Structure formats: structure tokens, C-alpha cells
Chains A and B, each alone.
Chain A
Amino acid sequence: MSDQQPIRILAERSAVPGVLRSLSRRQLLSMTAIAAGGLLLAACSDGGRPSPGAVARPTGGPLEDQLSIYSWADYDDPALLSAFTSASGPKIIVDSFGSNPELVAKLTAAKGTSGYDVVVPSSNYIPQMAANGLLMKLNKELLPNLAHMDTQFAVESDPDSEYAICKAWGTTGFVYDTTVINRELKTWGDFMDAAANEASGKTSVLDDPGELPGIYFWANGIQWETNDEEHLAAAEDYLVNTLAKHVSVFDSNPANGTIPQSTAVLIQAWNGSARQGIMASSTPEKWRWVLGAPNTEIFMDTWAVSATAPHPEASHAFINFMLKPESQLANVAYMGSHTGGAGIEELARAEGLPYLDMIFYTPEQVATMQPSTTTEGIARRVDIYNKMKAAASA
């Protein structure tokens, strides 16, 4: 379920604009993706490796007349894309994927003939994709707007943006219905308590094997990505024997119905879909968003260029265009995610965008967010996830 459902929904998004938006956001951090990416990279490491030297590094010459973008569905304001075409010339073709493994598989299987230029992998995939020659080293001379980016949101494994630049980032917390839960909830501990009391049988959690133990680990000050069996067993015990019986739904995109239709009163959510859900609600004032505390996660998608991009000049021009503060602001308004630029928050406030506290966080808050990294504990987490689901359906 963890990957499949979002993919199917994404496939339908063009048919249902708005209703299903923002879903893609949370794929990225799924541990799923991490392992799958690793595997595919490993599989292609010999024989299937595209040769990075095949395409000349862009030098700032004339732009090609086309640009092919391979990204998460509905991830950029269409007005921005047409603005780029009218300003600079290249016609844009957009194709979408539903998970990082899909992106990696497409790039490796094509052996350099995929034809994609700009790609949008999640940050935790960057080191392996770069090491396996799937990404082009960026020519930063052609990206002057990089200066507008906040270095705080540089890719951790690529701090100098050799391969990737933040496109959007998000975090995890929860939303609750203040007409049902009349006290103030502040932490994952409060979440656990409310789930067992006021929200029992009306609790929604993320449909993701990494996020579920996350609730327990973040509440108890345990490193999210731990592989310590003692910690995992404790998380399992809590999830299967305590939380499961209070859970009514495993939902990765509560913006779809769980929040606007009030089918749950306590909802674990990623900030983007939580914001969209509240905005879609007929009674937005009753919902309150809480950033996970004392710790929670951070996930990030990045701009990158395929090593075999047929239109490298246009790729750089496009990324540079998207890094312009006005472009970033347009995308913040469109997707509801922080684009990692410096001063974007101020622009958004000036613009009067709603629910900005769900998009922008203080440096202190950001400091409490833990990035997802490649982990060896996936099998164990899937095991816990399945046990919890079995317990919840009983």
C-alpha cells in the first residue's frame, strides 16, 4: 500500500486537479524508495552505467529549442513553465514518476537514451545517483540565482550543490479537531495520549513503515533511523498493542478526505497535505496543526540534471529561472512547500499567503528535524508495519 496507492492516485491527478494535489510529497522519504534506489543503482553499476562524459558540459551557449522534465506529478505551477518558454524559447515537455525507484529505473534502463533533461530526485538519493553517473555535474556559472538559496537547505551530502539544489522540502506533524480534543496538544507524546483517549477509533496515521515507528521514537528521544532491536521492539510493542486499536485509517494524503470530510479527529500528516486539507475544509478554524516535537523529520526534493541530458543549456537556464525569488514564490503558493530560498518567507508574507506557519519554520524548529538516510532497518520496519495493520483490522 505504501507506494502503490499514491502512484495510482497520481495517475489520476490530471483528471482531478486540486482534489488530489500534494500527494507526491511524501513518497520521497519513504524508506522504500531508499532501498529500491540503492538496489537499482547497484544493479546498473556495471554494464548499465551511462557514460557521464558523453554529453558536453554546458558553457552558456545558445539554448536548445526543447526541454524535457521528469518530475513528481503536478509539482510546478504551469504558469511558470509557460513563462519560461515565452521568455527563453525552449518548449517544455513534462513527464511524471511516482517514486524515486521509478526515476532511477527509468534513467538506468534507458542507458543514456531516456531523453530527460531536468530530474527531481529526493535528496537522500543524490549521493548514489551521482556516484553511479546518473547526474550531470552542474555548471554553477550558469546558475547565478543559486545566490538566492538558503544554504541551510542545501543537500546534506552535496553542500556545494555540485549535483543538486533544493526544490522543495517538508516535515511531519499532526492535525487535530479542536471541537473534539479540547486541550492543547504539543508533542508526539500528546498525540499518543490523545489517540488513546478522545481520538480513539478516529485516529489517522501515515501509511508508511518509516513514519509509524517515528511517532514512538520522536516522542521518546530515540534517533528515528535507529536499528537497535531493543528500540524497534519497544516501538513494535507500542504500535501493535496500543496504537493499532485506536487507528481508523492509514492515510498518506489526508488532504483527500480525512481532513476536509472530518473522517478522523487526530491525523498524522506531512505539512503540505495537512495545509491543503485544512484549506479544503469547510470549517478550517477547528483544525490545529502541530509540528512534531520534540523531534520530527525533514525531507527534500531537488533540482538535478540527467548525465545524458540532450538539452544541457536549456536545463541550466530553466533551473536558474526556477530559482528566481518570484518563481519560488509562485511555486510556494502552488504547492504549499518551502522551496529552500532565502527570504521566501518574507515574500510569502507580503503576498498574504494563508497558513504560512505550516510552510515556514524557525531555525530552532528546523534543528529538531531529522533527515531520512539510507537505512538497513527497512525489513524490520515493514514487519512492524504489517503487524500493526493486522492488529488494526482485527
Chain B
Amino acid sequence: MRRAVAPGFALALPAWIWLAAFFVAPVGVVFWYSFGYKPGLFGTHANDVLSLDRYAEVLTPTFFDTFANTLWVGVLGTALCFVVGAPIAYWMALKAPARVKGLLIALVMVPFWTNFLVRTIGWLILLSPEGWLSSLLQDLGFEPLGVLQTRSAVLLGVVYNYLPLMILPLFVAFDRVGDVVREASSDLGGTPLRTFARVTFPLARPGIIVGVLLVYIPLMGDYLTAVVLGGAKGNMVGQMLASQFQTAQNWALGSAMAIMLVLMIVLSIVALGALARLIAIPVRARYRVDLMEEVA
């Protein structure tokens, strides 16, 4: 057994080193800084006196107001990505002809080939009050387009930017469910909708969770995407954080904000997970089959 353990660990070593160097260490540094203070105009942080004062400074109404807006963007944006992305991924994985699947995945990836800002300028031009869409609407007797810099525009930008991150894991998840068990469900009398609810969805759940987290977590820390089309309505906590590091040069306060943001993202995930479980309870009860009851 000893011999079997050692090579396994050795193989994982690069991954551990990578994780330690690029995740644990930076987060550790940020965590450490968050207990320090900004020593003066030309210093960003000092840790000779440790305190929780920075956390007290973080917990202001501004932070919570901004976090509330961030949460709104994060939850709704992720939900929309799922609503839009799931049917696409489902179709790609289970309905599209096998020979075009590679092409479809490439098409999903294509937007990543250009910078998000450059692509979004296209949207800006399209949706602006003087864009051709707006002109067309006005020719038809409608009001000029007023979508930009509204909450709808925030969500549009978010969905546009994050959709591929949702589609790809969902595609993999649906693809792995495959035809066999779905045919079995159909064979046993499951309508397409019921087959999705009872077989496809539960089996794809790990991938769905991955997709949701892959969109939700970076989105919560994002401070650019929401702003591009949403303007002032797209204000995010990430922006506050960046302003502390880049503009105020107060790394101690910025670090405390970063830690608080991580904590609140984790808390929100736990809360959403608990909510999902709560919703699942009656479903689980409905399909529980306990043969012991019959004996009793």
C-alpha cells in the first residue's frame, strides 16, 4: 500500500504546488493584510499593529447597499444564464446531430476570441438611442430605445458575457446523461417533460451546480461586466474593492473588504443551497419507496 500511495501523491504534487502558490498564498496574504492598517499617504499597508478595525470600517451601509445590488445582479444574472443556457446545452448535447457537436461547441467559444469590451461596444451601438434598432423602432412609431443604463441592460451584459461559462458545463453534464437512461425512462412511460425532471435533471445536477457556481462566483467579484451596458445601475462590490486597492491605495481596508466579500459569497451559496434542498424535500418524499412500511 505504501508503494501505491507515494506515486499518487507525487502525481498530484504539481497541482498542490500550483494551488499553494497561486491560491493559498495570495489569499493568505490578503487575509494577513486585512488585520493591518494604512500607515500614511505613501504606504499601502502595515501589519505591526494588528486589529479588526478594518472589518469594522468595511461594515458600513455603503458596503451592504452595494453588496445588495451585487447580490441582485449575481443571483438574477446566474438564473438568467441558466434559463437561457440550459435549453441550448440540452439541445447541443442530446438533440443535435453528433457530427456538428464539435462545431457547436466552437461556436459557443467564439466570443472568447475577442475581448469582452470590444464585443460589448457592438451592443452599445445597437441599443443606443441613436442606433439603427432605435431608428427602426422610431420609424415604426415607437419611442426611442431606452434600454442602456437600466437594470435590464445590466442583465443583458451579464448574460452575454457569462453564457458560455454556463453552457459548457451543462453541455458536458447533459452529454454524460446520454440516451440510454432517457430511453429507459421513456420506455417505462415517462413523458419527455417527466423524463427531464426525474432522470435528465437529477443526473445532470453536478454539472448544473458547476455551471451555476462557475457563473455566480466570478460574477459576484466582477466589477466591469455589469457596468458596461448598465452604467450606474451596474455598481458592484468588486468596484469598491478595486477602488481601495488602486485609487485609495489602502490595501488593508481593501483586503478586509475582499475577505468579507468572500465570506458573503460563501454565505449566499450556502443559503441558496439550503433553499434548493428545502424545495427538494417534498419531491424526495413523493418518490421515496420504503418497502419496510409495507411490512409493518
Contact = CB atoms under 8 A, between A and B. Distances in A.
A15 interface: yes
A39 B235 contact: no
Contact of B243 (A19, A283, A382, A392): A382
Given A248-B231, A378-B248, A390 B62 contact: yes
Interface string A381-394: 11101110111111
Given A42-B43, A250-B232, A4 B69 contact: no
Interface in A38-70: 38-39, 41-42
Contact of B129 (A8, A11, A261): A261
A1 B66 CA distance: 14
Contacts of B233: 248, 392-393
Contacts of A381: 248
Given A248-B149, A394-B65, A30 B247 contact: yes
A207 to B, nearest CB: 9
Interface in A82-141: none
A162 interface: no
Interface string A3-35: 111001101100110010000000000111001
A15 B115 contact: yes
Contact of B42 (A3, A16, A35): A35
A365 interface: no
B117 A263 contact: no
Contacts of B130: 260-262, 282-283
Contacts of B128: 257, 261-263
B131 interface: yes
Interface residues of A, number: 54
B34 interface: no
A12 B117 contact: yes
B249 A263 contact: no
B276 interface: no
Interface of B: 38, 41-44, 62, 65-66, 69, 114-115, 117-118, 121, 124-125, 128-131, 148-149, 223-224, 227, 231-235, 239-240, 242-244, 246-250
5 contacts: A32-B247, A35-B42, A379-B250, A382-B250, A393-B235
Interface of A: 1-5, 8-9, 11-12, 15-16, 19, 30-32, 35-36, 38-39, 41-42, 204, 209, 244, 247-251, 256-257, 260-264, 282-283, 374, 376, 378-379, 381-383, 385-387, 389-394
